[in-house]
Amino acid sequence: MTGSDPAQTPSGNALSRTRSAGVSTEPWEKILALEPEDAYRRELTRRYKLVEIARPEVKTSWPAKLILAADQFIITPNTRVADAARAHAAGDDVRTVIAGYHWFTDWGRDTMISLEGLTLVTGRYIEAGYILRTFAYYVRDGLIPNMFPEGEQQGLYHTADAAMWYFHALERYLAATGDRDTLELLYADLASRCHDSFKRIHRYVAARLSRRF
């Protein structure tokens, strides 16, 4: 919910007139660790920082509201414990993009299409890298999962173009960050696996078409 709030922010951005209420999936011991007023102030500070790190052209007026809206879709997949264990063992972290509320989980195709707007325009480059590295683990036969069923540890692979959207998102990420380390980590392995699979798919489709025509 949103409503009028007389509090003013230092930059006069969209937060100055927005109040939010929501629910949490955090355990009670974490929720109760802070007094409500303290938690509210810290949440406002977090939102100020989200706006401040974004590109200058989206930090004021209605685009600033979109920055805060985008924040709701970048999540940590808490049910896939192995994701976090792998990432933390490598000194990394895990993030993904939820496709919608309230019944959707993270969908690979939607994630890669939206990654530029949700994370690069908003200046959330570190989380963009987390997302790309999280999905890289799940590449199978040249595909990334179209979706992860709720509570499951493995995705469903029934989209043909999500892998190409992945490479598009990776290219946009590199253009924005120049992160050659992530490129070296991901590209050689992904390119070889996806290229071989795409060649097999091309041969299969060509053979089927030749029979029809």
What single DSSP character describes residue 161?
S
Cβ-count burial 154-191 (b if 16+ within 10 Å, e if not): ebebebeebbebbeebbebbeebeebeebbebbeeebe
Q: CA geometry: angle at 21 spanning 114 and 121, to 5°?
A: 25
Residues 38 and 112 in one domain: no
Asked whether residue 164 falls in the same domain as residue 203, the answer is yes
Q: Which of 56-60, 122-126, 146-150, 204-208 has the highest mean pLDDT?
A: 122-126
- pTM of the model as a whole: 0.74
Q: What own/partner pairs with CB < 8 Å and gap ≥ 24 does 129-132 have?
A: 129/173, 129/177, 129/179, 129/182, 130/87, 130/92, 130/93, 130/94, 130/95, 131/74, 131/95, 131/96, 131/97, 132/166, 132/169, 132/170, 132/173, 132/182, 132/186
Report the alpha-carbon distance of residue 115 to residue 188 in Å, rounded.
21
State the residue range of the domain holding 147.
Answer: 73-212
Amino acid at 5: D
Res 4 pLDDT > 50: no
Same domain for 201 and 155, yes or no, is yes
For residues 37 and 20, membership in a common domain is answered with yes
Q: In this structure, are 207 and 190 located in the same domain?
A: yes
Where among 47, 72, 97 does a domain terminate? Answer: 72
Same-domain status, 52 and 107: no
> What tens digit of pLDDT does each residue of 37-87 get?
998 899 899 999 999 999 998 988 899 999 999 999 998 887 777 877 888
User: What's the total number of domains in the chain?
Assistant: 2
Q: Which of 72, 103, 123 is the last residue of a domain?
A: 72
**Residues 186-194, mean pLDDT to the nearest whole number:** 69
Asked whether residue 108 falls in the same domain as residue 28, the answer is: no
180 and 126 assigned to the same domain: yes
Looking at the chain, how many residues does it have?
213
Q: Which of 72, 102, 131 is the last residue of a domain?
A: 72
